[in-house]
Amino acid sequence: MTTRNTLLLIAAVALSACGRKSSPSNGAPSAVLVGPEAVIVADIATLSTGPAISGSLVAERTASIRAEVNGQVMAILQEPGDRVAAGAPLARIDDRAIADAWLSARSGVTQAELAADIAKRELERATRLSAAGAIADRDLENARRANLAAQAQFEDAKARLAQAQKQKDATVVKAPYAGVVAERTVNAGDVVSPGAALFTVVDPATMRLEASIPASQLGALRIGAPVTFSVTGYPDRRFRGTLTHIAPSADAATRQVKVIARIPNPGSGLVAGLFAEGRVASSVRDVLAVPLNAVDLRGLRPEVSRLKGGRVEHVVVTLGARDDATERVEITSGIAKGDTLLVGAALGITEGTALKVSAPSDTTKR
């Protein structure tokens, strides 16, 4: 090999060595990229705890309207589902016989009033004559008795008229308060008697949850405690109410205690009869809390995966109260407010892994 060829070989080896030094090591790990939905920031949150309850919704005011007079139903004025105002007519019952009785009673009042007025004037006249010594005391006493009898008959006639008026008014069946007609059990042409069921009117503005809790949790209840619950048919909504009644005794068979919560229903979205389940918030505190899916409970002690310095580290934590309604749990030790934690499937990332969170995509521009 000539000197020139030797020099060319040495240069080629040197260049090859330089190229290997400048390339990155094949064994160095690259950062794992996760989306923003895979991380959360630990923060202070309001946490509620208390006994679970389940039961059904009922309207707080439900009126079963019944007939007060005998007669044939002449007209039906409202149907189930109709909204009615207080005093709105629902049906009319034949009032011809009752109207005749009312006219007779009114005539009786007129006659009794006239007789009472005459008896009063006779008493006044007898009193003046007795003072002048023109009549005997017996005549004065008779005038007094006649006046008392006439006044009593007048009062009796007015009472009869009031009763007749009540009967006449009852021929127009009216709603006792504003609400919704829930049921109609009578038809036009039916002959009804006092006590016959006609309508059911419900006031949907306020509902109540009638539920039960184990007697062992009775000590955690208090009147006025907030109640949160979900309702069948509204899976994505949470409703709130206030505990208003606690039964004084437990059911002998089930050892359950009946409780009632008042539920405002301004939009009338809730419907009576639906099943509901939730919890009475016996304790409400502001604590450091994280979602339940940020805690790994598979080991001997609960852990969270914290992102610190761009790498994942597993941290043992101590858990406190748990709020199943919001699916959050209190952290009493191990992390601090502002720590970035992994959630969901990201909990499986190995400790020490370099991690990078991608920026959220801009979906507002189309």
Residue closest to 188 by CA, chosen among 78, 75, 66, 95? 75
Tally the residues of the chain.
366
**279-324 per-position pLDDT tens digit:** 888 777 889 999 999 999 988 899 999 999 889 999 999 998 887 7
Contact 66, 195 (CB under 8 A): yes
Q: Based on the number of CB atoms within 10 Å of its own CB, is 235 exposed (0-12), middle (13-18) or buried (19 or more)?
A: exposed
Average pLDDT (235-256) is 86
pLDDT band at 230 (very low <50, low <70, confident <90, very high): confident
Domains of the chain by start residue, with CATH = 32-50+285-357 (2.40.420.20), 61-93+174-200 (2.40.50.100), 96-169 (1.10.287)
pLDDT band at 256 (very low <50, low <70, confident <90, very high): confident
Could you tell me how far CA 135 lies from the centroid of its own chain? 78
Most distant pair of Cα atoms in the chain: their distance: 179
**161-186 per-position pLDDT tens digit:** 999 999 999 999 999 999 999 999 99
Residue closest to 270 by CA, chosen among 281, 258, 261, 257? 261
User: Strand, coil or helix: what is 139?
Assistant: helix
pLDDT band at 83 (very low <50, low <70, confident <90, very high): very high
**67-78 per-position pLDDT tens digit:** 999 999 999 999
Average pLDDT (147-163) is 95
pLDDT at 343 over 90: yes
pTM value is 0.57
Average pLDDT (152-157) is 95
**92-124 per-position pLDDT tens digit:** 999 998 999 999 999 999 999 999 999 999 999
* SS3 assignment for 97-117: HHHHHHHHHHHHHHHHHHHHH
Q: Based on the number of CB atoms within 10 Å of its own CB, is 96 exposed (0-12), middle (13-18) or buried (19 or more)?
A: exposed
